[in-house]
Amino acid sequence: MIRLLQAVLGGLLTGGVYALIGAGLSLIFGVLRVINFAQGELVMLGMYLTWLLFTFLHLDPFVSLIVVMPVLWMLGWALEALLLDRMHGALPQNQILLTMGLGLVLSNGAMMAFTSDYRLVSTTYSSSSFMLAGVALSQPLAVSFVLTAAIATALWVFLARTDTGMAIRATAQDRDAAQLMGIDVRRMSRLAFGIGAALAGAAGALIAPTYYIFPQVGGSFTLKAFVVVVLGGLGSVVGAMLGGLIIGITESLSATYISTELKDVCVYSLFLIVLIARPGGLLGKAE
């Protein structure tokens, strides 16, 4: 029973990070109709930026969020303006390949800049844990889960309650109609990509104390983020949050009860099953 609880709570904590990455991916897809294959690489950049700030300025990884998020936001904005803006209306597969190329450039660029050595952000609390209901939980992951929840709430308030947020949702719902209503849809695309990148960067900063940092780390996050987003329904930010938690728990349960090596096989199998049974995702409408 304790083992089950441990697996579920541990999975929930990692799932929070997946939720954040997935929410960014989902927002980008909703507004731009592009699946960003470089999402994991943006997480990787967030991790390296956190590592730089920690190593050279001794900035705490959780505090570095206030630097990492704006920097990644600007990067996302620039990438949209330079690359994706020109691809509007292009074949979906070409858009996918474009972001794949971007991912390769980012990960190999990071390899040139930082070499392929494993980096660590070893804070005093990196390996400390605390007990909750008889279950040991990682302290940094718990802090990152709380921050994730805060960021997710802020995102929700922004999308649901502000004029700009409403304009973003309108663009996602019907680009042409939004344009006819006087919304600057190209600006909304940039904004959405910027926010998506900032969320990925935030996830990178939040997991920096508990993960190895290396140039190829992004790939696995990209794949996880897809699974998360498809589970929740492409384009649905709330769905992505739910999907993230489900994937975190699935991963942790299969690591506990099946095998650590096969946990991702279980995750991808679940993904295929959901894709076949409910192609529109758990919350999404079937297309």
Residues at the contact surface with other proteins, assessed by CB under 8 A: 35, 83, 86-87, 90-94, 96-98, 100-109, 111-112, 116, 219, 223, 226-227, 230, 234, 259, 261-262, 264-265, 268-269, 271-272, 275-276, 279, 287
* Torsion sign (Cα): 41, 19, 119, 214: negative
State the nearest-atom distance from the C-beta of 12 to other proteins, in Å: 23
Distance of CA 142 to the CA centre of its chain: 17
The widest CA-to-CA distance across the chain, in whole angstroms, is 57
By C-beta, is 25 or 185 nearer to other proteins? 25
By C-beta, is 83 or 137 nearer to other proteins? 83
Cα torsion through 62, 220, 272, 25, rounded to 10: 50
State the nearest-atom distance from the C-beta of 271 to other proteins, in Å: 5
Burial of residue 180 (number of CB atoms within 10 Å: 0-12, 13-18, 19+): exposed
By C-beta, is 15 or 103 nearer to other proteins? 103
By C-beta, is 70 or 109 nearer to other proteins? 109
Among residues 20, 32, 67, the alpha carbon closest in space to that of 191 is found at 32
State the nearest-atom distance from the C-beta of 14 to other proteins, in Å: 18
By C-beta, is 35 or 121 nearer to other proteins? 35
State the nearest-atom distance from the C-beta of 257 to other proteins, in Å: 16
How far is the CA of 89 from the CAs of 94, 103, 177, 259, in angstroms? 10, 21, 16, 44
By C-beta, is 61 or 243 nearer to other proteins? 243
Burial letters for 261-273: b for 16+ Cβ neighbours within 10 Å, e otherwise?
eebbebbeebbee
State the nearest-atom distance from the C-beta of 29 to other proteins, in Å: 8
CA distance 138 to 144: 10
State the nearest-atom distance from the C-beta of 153 to other proteins, in Å: 28
Distance of CA 76 to the CA centre of its chain: 13
